[in-house]
Amino acid sequence: MTTTIDAYISELRETVVAAGLNYDVWWALRGPDTAPKYQKEMQRHNLFFSTSARANLVAALVALYRIYEGRRDSYNIPGLIKLLRGRFSEKELRDIEALNSQAKPIWVKVCILRNKVFGHRAKSHTIEEAFSEAGVTPNDIVRLLDITRKFLNKVSLAHDKTTHAFNLEAQGDTVRLLKELGGAMTKRSNPAVHTDLARKTAQGRCPTR
């Protein structure tokens, strides 16, 4: 039983870490603090960045859906809570179930998008209608991630006195990539750089390949 609880914690940790990283990339590409600043870089590689933004949003939402779904043959929070009954104290169970209750209304929104747009494409709704029905905001996703991390740390602390830092983030790397693309674009468009490159090549100081 202990190994099974450990397996649940490990699998769910990995899933929420992946969801958080996917969200970080999407937010860096579409968030108001970064997207306008690097619009030229993303327009130059439009298909790549538009596809990346969509793929990371879908991956984050599907991962969050999976964490809270109720399938008996999958690692998910409802299954973990069932395992903990009779092993955790009543107070510990109340605390983790309170966090699960906080997550549920947000998960329902995620569920709508997963079932009507990303996991399946419902005939009964346009994509715009499904998003309107769900009403998911970036703050909702951040809050669901935060609640899930707290839930898992509360469970692991009660189970074996450990917690997880959850300190990986991908937004910084994404922004650095955009900055590097911007720097490369500036160099290519700078006549002085091309002149210097031609001079060095003529002098045999710069390889042509």
pLDDT for position 203: 57
Output the tens digit of pLDDT for each of the chain's 209 residues: 455 999 999 999 999 999 999 999 999 999 999 999 999 999 999 999 999 999 999 999 999 999 999 999 999 999 999 999 999 999 999 999 999 999 999 999 999 999 999 999 999 999 999 999 999 999 999 999 999 999 999 999 999 999 999 999 999 999 999 999 987 666 555 555 445 544 544 555 544 44
For the chain, domain boundaries: 2-202
pTM for the model: 0.85
What is d(CA 48, CA 42) in angstroms, rounded to the nearest whole number? 8
Exposure string over 39-56, b if 16+ CB within 10 A, otherwise e: eebbeeeeeebeebbeeb
In angstroms, what CA-CA distances link 22 with 56, 95, 153, 156, 169?
Answer: 5, 28, 21, 24, 9
User: For residue 196, what pLDDT is reported?
Assistant: 56
**Alpha carbon distance 191, 101 (integer Å):** 60
If one counts every other C-beta atom within 10 angstroms of the C-beta of residue 92, the result is 16
What pLDDT is stored for residue 182 in this prediction? 85
User: Residue length, the chain?
Assistant: 209
